[in-house]
């Protein structure tokens, strides 16, 4: 037996000895190459797009050198840990980018469990992505099992140390070389053009994907971990916070406001129902949504309302913004990290100061997106989960009650809570229109029992399910109007409908563009938004607006003269030209959009898009300034006051 084991061990050592150590850095580079294939496909076609691969070569040499410095057994363990960690990071980033055209910060990974209910969307991912993952797994496992064999000679280790050190120096110096591609705007007399530069993306880290375009996958991760996880723990961070608050003050001091206007106070004193219509895209509004069409026709219809993504979670990003006036930070950071911030500027807090009660309603548990903690932080007295009002939520039939947003009115206890005494703000988050769009998805399956005619309606399964779910959302609004009228509250209520994001779960992007009537993915971000009250004069607002504009607009209509400054503007302020800033540097102004990835101008409503270079640069700088200040507001707890400190 001993002889057999000895011979086996001898063969194994010989086999491993034949494995070239060059495969170790090659494996690390393969991870970068996999990421590049998916993360660089939407960037411009110039040679600059290949910088991530150059950084990848340096990091492959660096990591390979670190592995070679250790004894063979330790090297094997270190290789496996580093390789599979990098691979997992690349898989998550590319998978998220395929769906959202943006990347995550490391802190956003904490939300992974929140999306576990929608993993079936992965089945629609390109086969090349799955094959790439399979290849990386096979390479990593094979190399770990048949790891190169090396002796105890000191010369190779010295060589490895020199190579690793040289790679470290190269990774530190190479960004300066990359920056030189933008020298014209980098050293411009004006700050306007600098926002487009690689240096701005690298230093300010305002968008994870833009940072990747400058320095590749590995360096993006390292900069992210240091800037967002390590640096905040250092004493220097306190000084930076004070400087940031002064920077925010300066930003708001330069902002102009038109003050009161013809719309000021038109809805003062009324009850407010704010409805976040999950995934309710603009193309879904029409013959299948008669109630929503009526509310838009009779109320204020914002035709060019855009919901840009900030942070790593789309729904909560919009939920947070319409309540507080600020987006989540585009620099990452777990949203729950800001739960201890003061949100005195929020809609709920301002209305409660004026005698309102405020409650948030949703089917999901209070732990989902930490809403049980965040709702009170934003000023709501209570986060109301429908599941808490079901006798046995584990029972299949009882659980199906949660599929219907109308449970809010069907359940007597929930109905009483919604129509409680006094002035009130009710914030509803719907479920009906959420992905995925398949006949056998639980919500679609349930909806088809109610409306079987939607199966096969258009000849496209995804479109059928989307229209079906839109019908379910419309049913909620129809029921809401009936309940308000029955309770005698219809005339004294404001209904605000806003969508969190477009139907990104619709996997056929070409068909989605056609349904939305646009030819560029950036323009898919346009979503429905309206404000309705029985005594409002119908009007259409065509000005381009972003999510942050809704709160100031609503406060103006309610006659609330807030002492706080906001990132957004009142839509009826004649001095506000309308603007949509995206965290990746893209923007929309008037009838022109700018896509940062391709550096192209795009017409919003057809025709030709043209703009002089100076205006284009100014709008790009304006976008970066917006993003930077928005991030700082959260990071500095800007709305915190001494009075708040005393209360705490």
- pLDDT tens digit sequence for 142-159: 999 999 988 777 788 898
394 within a domain of the structure (yes/no): yes
Q: Give the start-end residues of each E strand in 596-637.
A: 600-603
Residue 278 banded pLDDT, cuts 50, 70, 90: very high
- Residues 133 and 190 occupy one common structural domain: yes
Number of domains present in the structure of the chain? 2
Rounded CA separation 77/153 (Å)? 20
Residue 214 has pLDDT above 90, yes or no: yes
Residue 286 has pLDDT above 50, yes or no: yes
428 within a domain of the structure (yes/no): yes
Checking DSSP bridges between strand 357-362 and strand 382-385, what pairing results, if any?
Answer: parallel
256 within a domain of the structure (yes/no): no
pLDDT digits (tens, 9 = 90+) for 530-540: 999 999 999 99
Element (H, E) at 56: helix 51-69
Supply the pLDDT for residue 442: 92
- Residues 343 and 200 occupy one common structural domain: no
Residue 367 has pLDDT above 90, yes or no: no
Supply the pLDDT for residue 190: 43
Q: What percentage of the chain carries pLDDT values higher than 90?
A: 71
- Residues 317 and 222 occupy one common structural domain: no
Of 570, 590, 608, the residue at which a domain comes to its end is: 570
Angle (nearest 5°) at CA 500 between 498 and 504: 130
Residue 193 has pLDDT above 90, yes or no: no
342 within a domain of the structure (yes/no): yes
- Residues 360 and 282 occupy one common structural domain: yes
Closest C-alpha among 517, 512, 513, 516 to residue 606: 517
Cβ–Cβ contacts within 10 Å for residue 146, how many?
15
- Residues 188 and 331 occupy one common structural domain: no
Supply the pLDDT for residue 191: 44
Closest C-alpha among 142, 172, 157 to residue 24: 142
Checking DSSP bridges between strand 300-302 and strand 529-533, what pairing results, if any?
Answer: antiparallel
- Residues 275 and 178 occupy one common structural domain: no
Closest C-alpha among 167, 223, 198, 140 to residue 55: 167
- Residues 206 and 124 occupy one common structural domain: yes
- Pairwise pLDDT comparison (235 vs 399), residue with the higher score: 235
612 within a domain of the structure (yes/no): no
Supply the pLDDT for residue 333: 63
At 318 the three-state DSSP class reads helix
- Residues 162 and 87 occupy one common structural domain: yes
Residue 131 has pLDDT above 50, yes or no: yes
Rounded CA separation 105/119 (Å)? 20
Residue 366 banded pLDDT, cuts 50, 70, 90: confident
Of 230, 257, 284, the residue at which a domain comes to its end is: 230
- Residues 316 and 212 occupy one common structural domain: no
Q: Which residues contact 185 (CB under 8 A, 6 or more apart)?
A: 193, 194, 196, 197, 617
Give the best-scoring range by mean pLDDT among 228-237, 433-442, 541-550.
541-550
Supply the pLDDT for residue 312: 73
Cβ–Cβ contacts within 10 Å for residue 354, how many?
12
Instruction: Determine the average pLDDT of the residues in 382-411.
Output: 86
Residue 429 has pLDDT above 60, yes or no: yes
pLDDT digits (tens, 9 = 90+) for 322-352: 999 999 998 866 676 788 789 999 999 999 9
The least confident of 161-165, 233-237, 414-418, 439-443 is 233-237
Residue 198 has pLDDT above 90, yes or no: no
238 within a domain of the structure (yes/no): no
List, edge to edge, every strand of the sheet that includes 493-499.
382-385, 357-362, 424-429, 271-277, 493-499, 529-533, 300-302, 539-541
Closest C-alpha among 346, 358, 402 to residue 552: 346
Supply the pLDDT for residue 4: 45
- Residues 147 and 25 occupy one common structural domain: yes
Element (H, E) at 95: helix 72-100
Instruction: Determine the average pLDDT of the residues in 32-46.
Output: 85
Domain CATH for 438: 3.40.720.10
DSSP 8-state secondary structure symbol assigned to residue 309: -
- Pairwise pLDDT comparison (214 vs 241), residue with the higher score: 214
- Residues 198 and 341 occupy one common structural domain: no
Supply the pLDDT for residue 405: 96
Structure tokens at 74: 């330790």
Closest C-alpha among 577, 508, 474 to residue 258: 577
Instruction: Determine the average pLDDT of the residues in 37-64.
Output: 89
Checking DSSP bridges between strand 587-589 and strand 382-385, what pairing results, if any?
Answer: unpaired
Instruction: Determine the average pLDDT of the residues in 482-488.
Output: 98
Instruction: Determine the average pLDDT of the residues in 36-50.
Output: 82
Of 546, 570, 594, the residue at which a domain comes to its end is: 570
pLDDT digits (tens, 9 = 90+) for 72-97: 999 999 999 999 999 999 999 999 89
**Cα–chain-centroid distance for residue 449?**
33
- Pairwise pLDDT comparison (43 vs 143), residue with the higher score: 143
At 109 the three-state DSSP class reads helix
Instruction: Determine the average pLDDT of the residues in 576-580.
Output: 97
625 within a domain of the structure (yes/no): no
Rounded CA separation 344/320 (Å)? 14
55 within a domain of the structure (yes/no): yes
Cα radius of gyration (the chain): 27
Supply the pLDDT for residue 310: 92
In this structure, are residues 392 and 398 in contact, taking their beta carbons and an 8 Å threshold?
yes
List, edge to edge, every strand of the sheet that includes 587-589.
580-581, 587-589, 592-595, 600-603
Angle (nearest 5°) at CA 182 between 308 and 33: 70
Residue 188 has pLDDT above 60, yes or no: no
Supply the pLDDT for residue 583: 93
Rounded CA separation 630/61 (Å)? 38
Rounded CA separation 640/638 (Å)? 5
Q: Which residues contact 402 (CB under 8 A, 6 or more apart)?
A: 363, 386, 387, 390, 393, 431
Residue 648 has pLDDT above 70, yes or no: no
pLDDT digits (tens, 9 = 90+) for 582-638: 999 999 999 999 999 888 999 999 888 889 999 999 999 999 999 999 999 998 999
Rounded CA separation 595/192 (Å)? 17
Cβ–Cβ contacts within 10 Å for residue 228, how many?
20
Backbone dihedral angles phi then psi of residue 527, each to the nearest 5 degrees: -135, 165
pLDDT digits (tens, 9 = 90+) for 97-129: 998 888 988 887 776 666 666 667 777 889 999
The residue segments making up the domain with residue 333 are 266-570
- What's the mean pLDDT when you consider all of the chain? 90
Residue 394 banded pLDDT, cuts 50, 70, 90: low
- Residues 222 and 338 occupy one common structural domain: no
Residue 192 has pLDDT above 90, yes or no: no
Supply the pLDDT for residue 180: 87
Supply the pLDDT for residue 55: 97
């Amino acid at each position: 037996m001993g002889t057999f084991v000895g011979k086996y061990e001898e063969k194994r050592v010989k086999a491993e000895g034949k494995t070239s150590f060059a495969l170790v850095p090659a494996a690390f580079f393969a991870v970068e190459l996999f990421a590049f294939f998916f993360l660089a496909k939407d960037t411009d076609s110039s040679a600059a797009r290949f910088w991530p691969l150059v950084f990848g070569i340096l990091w492959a040499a660096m990591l390979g050198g670190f592995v070679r410095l250790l004894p063979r057994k330790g090297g094997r363990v270190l290789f496996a840990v580093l390789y599979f960690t990098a691979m997992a990071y690349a898989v998550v980033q590319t998978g998220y980018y395929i769906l959202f055209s943006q990347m995550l910060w490391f802190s956003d990974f904490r939300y992974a469990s929140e999306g576990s209910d929608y993993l079936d969307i992965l089945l629609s991912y390109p086969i090349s992505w799955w094959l790439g993952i399979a290849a990386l797994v096979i390479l990593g496992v094979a190399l770990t099992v048949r790891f190169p064999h090396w002796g105890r000679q000191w010369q190779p280790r010295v060589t490895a140390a020199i190579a690793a050190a040289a790679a470290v120096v190269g990774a530190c110096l190479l960004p300066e070389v990359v920056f030189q591609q933008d020298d014209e705007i980098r050293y411009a007399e004006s700050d306007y053009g600098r926002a487009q530069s690689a240096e701005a993306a690298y230093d300010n880290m305002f968008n994870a994907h833009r940072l990747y375009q400058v320095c590749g996958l590995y360096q993006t991760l390292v900069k992210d971990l240091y800037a967002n996880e390590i640096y905040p723990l250092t004493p220097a961070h306190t000084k930076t916070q004070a400087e940031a608050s002064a920077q925010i003050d300066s930003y708001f001091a330069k902002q102009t406001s038109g003050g009161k206007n013809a719309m000021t106070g038109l809805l003062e004193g009324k009850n407010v129902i704010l409805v976040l219509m999950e995934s309710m895209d603009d193309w879904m509004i029409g013959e299948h949504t008669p109630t929503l069409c009526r509310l838009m026709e009779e109320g204020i219809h914002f035709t060019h309302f855009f919901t840009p993504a900030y942070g790593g979670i789309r729904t909560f990003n919009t939920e947070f913004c319409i309540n507080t006036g600020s987006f989540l930070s585009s620099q990452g950071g777990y949203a729950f990290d800001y739960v201890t911030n003061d949100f005195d500027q929020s809609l709920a807090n301002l209305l409660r100061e004026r005698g309102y009660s405020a409650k948030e309603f949703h089917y999901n548990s209070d732990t989902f997106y930490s809403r049980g903690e965040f709702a009170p932080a934003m000023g709501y007295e209570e986060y109301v989960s429908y599941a808490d009002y079901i006798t046995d939520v584990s029972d299949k039939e009882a659980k199906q009650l949660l599929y219907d947003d109308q449970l809010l009115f069907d359940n007597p206890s929930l109905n009483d809570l919604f129509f409680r005494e006094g002035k009130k703000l009710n914030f509803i988050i719907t479920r009906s229109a959420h992905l995925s769009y398949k006949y056998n998805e639980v919500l679609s399956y349930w909806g088809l029992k109610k409306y079987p005619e939607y199966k096969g309606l258009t000849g496209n399964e995804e479109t059928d399910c989307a229209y079906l779910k839109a019908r379910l959302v419309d049913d909620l609004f129809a029921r809401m109007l009936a309940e308000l009228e029955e309770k005698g509250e219809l005339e004294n209520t404001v209904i605000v409908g806003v969508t969190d994001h477009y139907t990104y779960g619709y996997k056929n992007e070409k068909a989605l563009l056609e349904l939305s009537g646009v030819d560029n993915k950036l323009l898919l971000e346009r979503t429905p938004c309206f404000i309705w009250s029985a005594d409002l004069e119908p009007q259409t607002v065509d000005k381009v607006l972003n999510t942050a504009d809704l709160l100031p607009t609503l406060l103006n209509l309610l006659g609330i003269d807030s002492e706080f400054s906001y990132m957004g503007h009142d839509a009826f302020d004649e001095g506000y030209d309308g603007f949509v800033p995206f965290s990746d540097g893209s923007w929309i102004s008037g009838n022109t959009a700018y896509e940062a990835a391709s550096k192209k101008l795009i017409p919003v409503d057809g025709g030709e898009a043209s703009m002089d270079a100076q205006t284009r640069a100014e709008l790009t700088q304006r976008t970066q300034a917006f993003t930077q200040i928005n991030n700082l507001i959260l990071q500095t707890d800007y709305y915190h006051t001494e009075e708040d400190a005393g209360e705490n």
